[in-house]
């Protein structure tokens, strides 16, 4: 499973990229707002750090305006994935943009039927929002296997990008189910490496090494 960072924080992106843990980045207007920077400027910097897909979202809601914004965003760098909402206008824009050879991430997916439409529109990625379904007392992770089965049934090449990931348990569940990609805040990605028994074991090894006077270099 590929790891995307869901952030517009270039320092956090650079850190994860240097660790070798990053396959791409997703952004949205809320994350751009949080960064306090111009969308074109910060997106261009992110694209210079990460070699994989960088999702940049349109803010228009009508197909023609989405296409204009999407084409402008795609000019920033060759690894831009234009992010459009899962609406009828967004699906129309997706079909046109993918026909032009651009990557498209269809976002705000909350049902398997919506994911089916996105695949038929040629989406590169479909982004089901796990955490937001959990917020309304549904099990958001149930959506991933439904999409996986539909896509496998018909050979759709759209990648399932598990989004709105809130915890390390979400990451594990998405990987077990077969999501192609997950996108999460940098803090969640880094937390995957931690376990209390790892910390305890390391403390013991270091104590024994000190007691034995072990020095390697």
Q: What is the token pair recorded at 87? A: 């609406």
> Which one, of 111, 110, 104, 94, lies nearest residue 125 by Cα?
104
Annotated catalytic residue: which of 83, 95, 102, 172?
83
For residues 29 and 194, give the distance between their C-alpha atoms in angstroms, rounded to a whole number: 31
Residue the block writes with tokens 């850190």: 15
Three-state secondary structure string covering 146-181 = HHHHHHHHHCCCCEEEEECCCCHHHHHHHHHHCCCE
92 is catalytic: no
Alpha carbon distance 44, 113 (integer Å): 34
Instruction: Give the residue numbers marked as catalytic.
Output: 83
């Amino acid at each position: 499973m590929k790891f995307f960072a869901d952030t517009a924080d270039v320092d956090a992106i650079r850190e994860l990229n240097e660790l070798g843990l990053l396959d791409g980045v997703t952004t949205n207007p809320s994350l751009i707002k949080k960064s306090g920077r111009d969308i074109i400027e910060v997106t261009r910097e992110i694209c210079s750090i990460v070699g994989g897909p960088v999702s940049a979202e349109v803010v228009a809601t009508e197909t023609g305006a989405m296409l204009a914004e999407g084409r402008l965003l795609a000019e920033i760098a060759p690894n831009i994935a234009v992010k459009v909402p899962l609406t009828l206008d967004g699906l129309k824009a997706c079909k046109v943009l993918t026909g032009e050879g651009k990557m498209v991430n269809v976002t705000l997916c909350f049902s398997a039927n919506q994911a089916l439409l996105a695949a038929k529109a040629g989406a590169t990625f479909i982004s089901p929002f796990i955490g937001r379904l959990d917020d309304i007392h549904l099990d958001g992770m149930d959506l991933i296997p439904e999409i996986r089965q539909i896509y496998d049934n018909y050979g759709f090449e759209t990648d399932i990008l598990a989004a709105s990931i809130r915890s390390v348990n979400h990451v594990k569940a998405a990987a077990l189910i077969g999501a192609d990609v997950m996108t999460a805040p940098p803090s969640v990605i880094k937390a995957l490496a931690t376990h209390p028994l790892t910390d305890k074991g390391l403390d013991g090894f270091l104590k024994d090494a000190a007691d034995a006077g072990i020095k390697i270099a």
